[in-house]
Amino acid sequence: MPRYALKIEYHGGPFAGWQRQKGPASVQQCVEEALQALEPESDQIAGAGRTDAGVHATGQVAHCDMIKQWDPFRLSEALNQHLKPHPIAIVDTAVVEDDFHARFSALERRYLFRLFSRRAPATHDRGLVWQVRHTLDIEAMREGAKHLIGRHDFTTFRSSVCQAQSPVKTLDQLDIEERPHAGGIEYRFHIRARSFLHNQVRSFVGTLERVGAGSWQPTDVKTALEEKDRAACGPVCPPHGLYLVGVGYPDDPFEGKDD
């Protein structure tokens, strides 16, 4: 059976997250139903990241096994036809080896978090950014972020329902950029690691926002990390500013194509 990698973009607002579950629709469920419209025998797909309810993606990756040989472009087009009117798009498809696994073959996941500072309510970006009304000190947030880089026990920044076997992870990147946006300031958090704990990114950003607002000192982030206690974490920010923007593999199935 030929195997395909799918690069998937979606607006997370209407969904209960990536993973199929009982109850509200998930992104995985919608993609699987589109695949079954093409080949009724098609099985479950596997995604690289199990994004939560409300979290978006511009570079989620999943793999699927098909019965017949599909031209990758035609498979993308057929799936997008069946995905209407859901806010989900297959932006690229590639043939991969049988041992490729969207989740277990991944070397890294890359996330973007958009934090928007403006007194007036967001309109065009509503549901796509986390908005605060106060100003933020980006240099203080950058100083606080430095304490999180590297290999640590991230128990403090881990959801109480996290199912990971160990809280020890290596954070490779947490960069923050500032840019004027729509009469306010947008702060973009670029975060990269091989894997993440449940709510880890949102816990980071919520804590660093408190640093930027002046409620925490940058060194308080180090203290919270060393506590290894969920109660020491800052507030967990809402999901709608978070995006899964890319997944890295030893051999990128989409290499040479636009992100």
Positions annotated as catalytic residues are: 52
Which structure tokens are listed for 89? 């798009």
The C-alpha atoms of residue 76 and residue 72 are separated, in whole angstroms, by 6
Which structure tokens are listed for 88? 């989900």
Contact 93, 75 (CB under 8 A): yes
- CA 25 from centre of chain: 18
Which structure tokens are listed for 49? 């990241």
Tell me the chain's radius of gyration from C-alpha atoms.
Answer: 19
Q: How many CB atoms lie within 10 A of CB 112?
A: 18
Q: Which amino acid is at 64?
A: C
Interacting residues of 256 by C-beta distance below 8 A, sequence separation 6+: none
Which structure tokens are listed for 234? 């800052």
Which structure tokens are listed for 143? 């100083």
Which structure tokens are listed for 256? 């040479």
Contact 73, 7 (CB under 8 A): no
- CA 158 from centre of chain: 15
Q: How many CB atoms lie within 10 A of CB 237?
A: 23
